[in-house]
Chains A and B, each alone.
Chain A
Amino acid sequence: MKKGNTIFFENKPAILSYAAVCGTKESEGVIGSFADVVLKDDMFGESTFEKAECKMLSTAISLAVKKSGLDEGDIDVLFSGDLLNQIISASFAARNYDFPFLGVYSACSTMSESILLGSTLVDGGYVNTAVCATGSHFASAERQYRYPLELGCTRPPQAQWTVTGAGGLVLGRSQKGVKVTCGTMGRVRDFGVTDVNNMGAAMAPAAADTIIRHFRDTQTEPADFDLILTGDLGALGSRILKDLTWEKGFDISANHVDCGEIIYKVVESEFQGGSGAGCSATVLNSYILEKMNAGLYKRVLFAATGALLSTVSSGQGESIPCISHAVRLEI
């Protein structure tokens, strides 16, 4: 059933299991004790950062499948994507498996987009199980989007820090566990922000748009949720999001949390917090789902945000189109 841009899942696909892999810096923060694997070094025993990112992603996928108690042969489809050109981490990770792979790219909102797509297939009865996973690596993202790692340049105060980590979950049919009850498909929003260092300001309108449409489509209000979780807006973007939603009559300040804002403990040169596809993926697949299963949060709106730019488009002076997909998780 669909209302507005929101799809309602009548059979309520369940999250059977989840797993997260995170870097050393991330493990010092809130997700440290909840992540399944913590990297001892940024290379993860590989020769390049790209291979390390791929290995993190496949580790998260394998762990999630293993924790669900299913065999790899029981998995019907894998939805995955990442930040690198041609989503190489996801595709290269997928060659380790015998199940089909559907690559998705939605920048940092890949996690929520893949949950949305996976839930649709599971809910419709087209597949029994779907794996959704994504990840990012600080070093590979820096190389692709910014400067060489060792280049001595300053970071502007609006900047965020790409999270090294990957997360994955298995969707299926079960009476137990966290259910995906509905999801709102995002629209691409662009308010004309051209500053590539200010992703929070660029993505906040997309997040506000999706969250407000979710409230309207489902006739809910912010107080109905225990948590409204955005992906990687950072501290600045979160402030803007609260203002934007407040302006439309929805005050989310009481229960809004941003994964990027909470992921790092030490504020050194992360400034506004974490970013990247791995940011929401690691926080959701460790801390949040753990707390949901423990009954702390009963209803969470997970709206990861993504900036759909490339180095070419920003080099040519284009502004940054952004998107946010939301899924509602309930227990």
Chain B
Amino acid sequence: MTAKPRENSNQNYLNYVKTQDPPTKHLNNCVSAFLVGGFICSIGQFIRYLLEYAGLSGDELAGATSIILIFLGCLLTGLGVYDRIGRYAGAGSIVPITGFANSVTSPAIEFKTEGWIYGMAAKMFTVAGAIIVFGVFSGVIVGLVYMFV
């Protein structure tokens, strides 16, 4: 595909479209993200307290809390609820670990029709792949910083 000739793009028109665009409600989005994200984290903390009460501690405690949250994320995705929460909450439901669970489960459900191996399994990470790559990458950077500083 060749690059588009510059004269094809009408800068006047693009400027005009900008004036017509409905504005994104950043403040509203931030508030709902804060509330829902905070709520999800509170649930996490609540689960943590319960597990602590049940006698878990340290790494076991952190692991078990994450597992329960991931399970809840997957379950709500499967029930078709998580996308509705996400539409309202935006980053509030994407950033917590439940959002990661959602990003793995939703393509798995979607591509199941193309077969278990080439569909569900292969395409399970179409969304989460990027998160994993950049998550590992930023982990490496932070690790290097710790090593030298």
Contact = CB atoms under 8 A, between A and B. Distances in A.
The interface size bin for chain B is 35 or more
Nearest to A155: B87
Contacts of B1: 313, 316, 318
Interface in A44-74: 47-48, 50
Interface string B77-109: 110101111111110011000010011011101
Interface in A157-201: 157-158, 190-193, 198, 201
Contacts, number: 108
Given A240-B20, A318-B4, A149 B14 contact: no
Contact of B105 (A50, A150, A236): A150
A97 to B, nearest CB: 25
A254 B34 CA distance: 44
Main secondary structure of the interface of B (DSSP, over half): helix
A92 interface: no
A49 to B, nearest CB: 8
A191 B110 CA distance: 34
B64 interface: no
Contacts of A158: 21-22
Given A158-B22, A193-B17, A316-B1, A151 B102 contact: yes
Interface of B: 1, 4, 8-11, 13-14, 16-17, 20-25, 29, 77-78, 80, 82-90, 93-94, 99, 102-103, 105-107, 109-111, 113, 126-127
Top 3 nearest A-B pairs by Cβ distance? A152-B86, A192-B9, A148-B110
